[in-house]
Each structure stands twice: as structure tokens, then as C-alpha cells.
Amino acid sequence: MQARADRQGKHRVAFEKNKKVILKTRNTCGICGNPVDKSLRYPHPLSPVIDHIIPVIKNGHPSDIDNLQLAHWQCNRQKSDKLYADERASDTKVIGNRNLPQSCDWISYKG
């Protein structure tokens, strides 16, 4: 199995550079819209991660900053490889980033 383009090869350096920019300049989860506490570390479910807005597996660019957003780890896991639901696709049954169910009150989580 071949590694994803953002994890090796020419896109790795650009991804890491853009990841640093996003971590310095953004403070809210692009999926749920709530603040991201950057002091939290994995495996805490609210720890910060970089999410591909259009997943790499669905032909999203692996390192373009316009395809990357700050997210909570648990939001990114729930989103998985789903796409945003927008006005152009309002008649589809695709679950979008903004309407994913929250399975637990992660604000009170003690990991």
C-alpha cells in the first residue's frame, strides 16, 4: 500500500509548512466551529489536527493551504472522508462537516 501524498514525497514539505501556518493563525474548528485548545495533545479528543476539506482520497489537494483547516481530532475522525454539504448539493443525502452528530460532551472529557 502506497503512503498518502501529504505524508511522503514532494507534498510533505508543503503540508508541514502550511500546517504550521494554520496552527499559528487559526483558532476554531473548521468542522464544528468551536474553539480549539492548542495546548491539548493526542489522544485527547479535542486536540488540534489539520483536516483536508476535500479528502485526499476524493482528489483533494494534499498540501494546498486552501484545502486545509484546523479541526478537533474527534471532529476530524467523525468527518472521515465525507465532503461539505453545500447549496449546490442540498438535495443529496451527504452528511456535511457542519451537521455531524456529537456522541459525547467532550468539553467535560478527562483523558
Mean pLDDT of 89-105: 50
Three cell numbers, residue 35 = 474553539
Q: Tell me which of 12-16, 69-73, 90-94 is least confident.
A: 90-94
- Would residue 91 count as lying in a domain? yes
- Would residue 1 count as lying in a domain? no
pLDDT digits (tens, 9 = 90+) for 18-66: 999 999 999 999 999 999 999 999 999 999 999 999 999 899 999 999 9
- Would residue 61 count as lying in a domain? yes
- Would residue 111 count as lying in a domain? no
Number of structural domains the chain divides into: 1
- Would residue 25 count as lying in a domain? yes
For Cα atoms 73, 76, 78, give the angle at the middle one, nearest 5 degrees: 110
- Would residue 72 count as lying in a domain? yes
Look at residue 109 in the predicted model and tell me its pLDDT.
Answer: 59
Domain that holds residue 90: 10-99
pTM: 0.72
| DSSP assignments along 33-78, one per residue | --B--TT--TTSTT-EEEEESS-GGGT--SS-GGGEEEEEHHHHHH
Q: How confident is the model at residue 1 (pLDDT cuts 50, 70, 90)?
A: low
- Would residue 105 count as lying in a domain? no
- Would residue 86 count as lying in a domain? yes
